[in-house]
Structure 1
Amino acid sequence: MRKKTNNLLDAIGNTPLVRVPFNTPAKIFAKLEYLNPAGSIKDRSALFMIEEAEKKGLLKSGGTIIESSSGNQGVACAMIGAMKGYKVIITASPAMSEEKIKTIKAYGAKVIMCPAVPIHDPKSRHSVAEKLLEKTRNSFMPNQYFNLSNPKAHYNSLGPEIWRQTKGKITHFFAAAGTGGTISGAGKFLKEKNPKIKIMAVDIDTSFHSTNGHPKPYKMEGIGIDFETPCLNESVIDRFFPVSDKHGLGMLKTMAKKGFLIGTGSGAVSYVVQNYLNKLKKGDVVVMLFGDSGRAYLSKNYY
């Protein structure tokens, strides 16, 4: 149960773990990360990286947070910046939902739209963010795709929560992989507690990782390993599950009718878990991560 707090940022984490009514003798739970203050799992890693930068003197009062984001990281940085009094600039690509763009702006942050090109292209959202960082005094870029504090955040926060909430009985952990921070950080913690726990990463079937370096465009957000990143620790991952837009997006209505209005990446995770049920047995305890809410995608008409 969450306790009363005098600071909104203290409300990040300790999200509910809720039973999902799938037809199986195993126990299936969803970790409802969309109940974080800014609406996603990214609240955890964004806060961790920003406060780490403050401690190291990399971000000082009156400074600017600059980040490249497909959506949720940008929203998290915008909310945290508003709370701490920082200026925030988010570089984004056209795939970002209208709701996410409006939410970032609602927190007072600036959004710079960039073309959907490979990460090392000078016009990519990541490259543009790096250029802004170079010319903006007292600025900091969390750099979620390459900052190892990303998985560290989930090792210190998400992993221990899941272990505690399942009383150490978890047998399988399913989560969408994008930067790799969530699955790698929480997965590492859980593996250290019990090496037999299965860490299952869900990816887009047309991502850089799934296609061995030959990616194709896709619709889902909050998922997709699009380049090599040190934040992805494959040594703690037991299996990768590639999921198509058709199957991932197709699960959204199914889950909504069960009461879970989830985001697109979570739809892919739900699809994988549903199709894994025949491999589960009584006594298994499965935790699947619901990284954000479907409210961020209603304009896409997926539901």
Structure 2
Amino acid sequence: MTSPAVHSDTLDLIGNTPLVLLKGPSEAAGCEIWGKCEFANPGASVKDRAALWIVRDAMARGELKTGGTVVEGTAGNTGIGIALVANALGFKTVIVMPDNQSKEKMDTLRALGAELVTVPPTKFADPNHFVHTSRRIAEENENAIWANQFDNVANRRAHIEGTAPEIWSQLDGRLDGFTCAVGTGGTLAGVGMGLKAQDEKIRIALTDPHGAALYNYYANGELEGEGSSVAEGIGQGRITANLEGAPIDTQFRISDVEGLDWVAQLLREEGLCLGLSSGINVAGAVALGRQLVADGRKDARVATILCDTGFRYLSTLYNAEWLAAKDLPVFDWLGSS
């Protein structure tokens, strides 16, 4: 029996998350589908990794000094990760979020001691977009840095140096495909680059929600979205610095309904309480697995990211009235609105 890991630094708790075989998705795909349990990070999401690399990179370059402040624009999870990392290293945090994100994320940020600024959701071209607002706040405050998760490539280095080697090692170097959705692009690009360095034949797939523009970009060369999604933290309309050069081999577009079907099944049958981004990732992994099997790789193995905990969405995904208001199917155990 292996003893649990022992750490002398709380920040060492970030990363080295478990990998679990997902039975239902594996059966649906006809091959093994593995989920990287990023909800096991201290901040309960994959974004802890980017937060740690970004803050340590700013410290190493001398930009973030004692008593300084980290400012970031985020859908929530990166802000939570930054707040925890900043607390552990003695820094302050200012987080800017769109005001349509889950109440649980906002409450968590306040509980962690971050200063929370909310702004109306708007297009990236609008100067009042949460990303641009966070940049201005950083520029206007002394001894403050802007984390800039979308275009700061310390983000994807977290996955090149951390997540990808972990997956490779956990699967003993036998992996045929990897997929996830894109928010900043750091996870997909970083894991893709890291895995391709181990085996160029590993198929890397984008899993895009409706409303995002990347599916069409990789399929047809044009940044053009179609439809909409309620998923938080994923869906991108531009090629970020983190996404530049990402080794994307194929792409899938997944609806919220399909993603929610997997959220429901994984909770009901496998005891995993996840957010919608994880459900969309799992749907993409099943699609990739089926593609690999159709190409003759009957014993294929596909990995994806289980991004965060469903406990972060109790007022949305797990609320019958909210689901009904969005014209989404209500989980049967919640009853009708």
Alignment check: 8 A CA contact 2:262 2:283 kept: yes
User: What is the distance in 2 between the residues matched to 1:215 and 1:207?
Assistant: 7
Displacement, 1:214? 4.6
**Corresponding residue of 1:139:** 144
User: What is the distance in 2 between the residues matched to 1:73 and 1:165?
Assistant: 25
**Superposed counterparts of 1:173-184, under 5 Å:** 173-184=178-189
**Superposed counterparts of 1:209-224, under 5 Å:** 209-210=214-215, 212-214=223-225, 217-224=228-235
**Corresponding residue of 1:253:** 264
Pick from 308, 328, 333 the counterpart of residue 292 of structure 1: 308
Task: Summarize deviations over 1:216-246 as a string: whole Å, max 9, x none.
Answer: 6521113111323121135411112111222
Displacement, 1:134? 1.0
| Paired AA for residue 113 in structure 1 | T
Task: Summarize deviations over 1:85-127 as a string: whole Å, max 9, x none.
Answer: 2110000002311111111111100110111111231211111
Displacement, 1:64? 0.4
Greater than 6 Å deviation, 4+ residue runs:
none
Is residue 54 of structure 2 the alignment partner of residue 49 of structure 1?
Answer: yes
Alignment check: 8 A CA contact 2:176 2:201 kept: yes
User: What is the distance in 2 between the residues matched to 1:301 and 1:49?
Assistant: 30
User: Structure 2 length normalisation: TM-score?
Assistant: 0.85
* Aligned partner of residue 9 in structure 1, secondary structure: helix
Alignment check: 8 A CA contact 1:70 1:95 kept: no
Higher alpha-carbon Rg: 2
User: What is the distance in 2 between the residues matched to 1:226 and 1:171?
Assistant: 28
Structure 2, unpaired ranges of 5+: 217-222, 319-330, 332-337
Pick from 261, 285, 291 the counterpart of residue 273 of structure 1: 285
* Aligned partner of residue 300 in structure 1, secondary structure: coil
User: What is the distance in 2 between the residues matched to 1:194 and 1:214?
Assistant: 32
- Identify which range, 220-229 or 128-137, moves more after superposition: 220-229
Aligned Cα root-mean-square deviation (Å): 1.7
User: What is the distance in 1 between the residues matched to 2:147 and 2:186?
Assistant: 13
* Aligned partner of residue 70 in structure 2, secondary structure: strand
- Identify which range, 202-211 or 184-193, moves more after superposition: 202-211
- Identify which range, 88-97 or 58-67, moves more after superposition: 88-97
User: What is the distance in 1 between the residues matched to 2:226 and 2:58?
Assistant: 33
Task: Summarize deviations over 1:115-152 as a string: whole Å, max 9, x none.
Answer: 11112312111111111111111111110111111111
Pick from 193, 196, 206 the counterpart of residue 211 of structure 2: 206
User: What is the distance in 2 between the residues matched to 1:226 and 1:249?
Assistant: 23
- Identify which range, 2-11 or 101-110, moves more after superposition: 2-11
Query: CA 1:214–1:286 in structure 2 vs 1: closer, same or farther (change >3 Å)?
Result: closer
- Identify which range, 166-175 or 15-24, moves more after superposition: 15-24
**Corresponding residue of 2:107:** 102
Query: How many residue pairs were aligned?
Result: 303
**Corresponding residue of 1:77:** 82
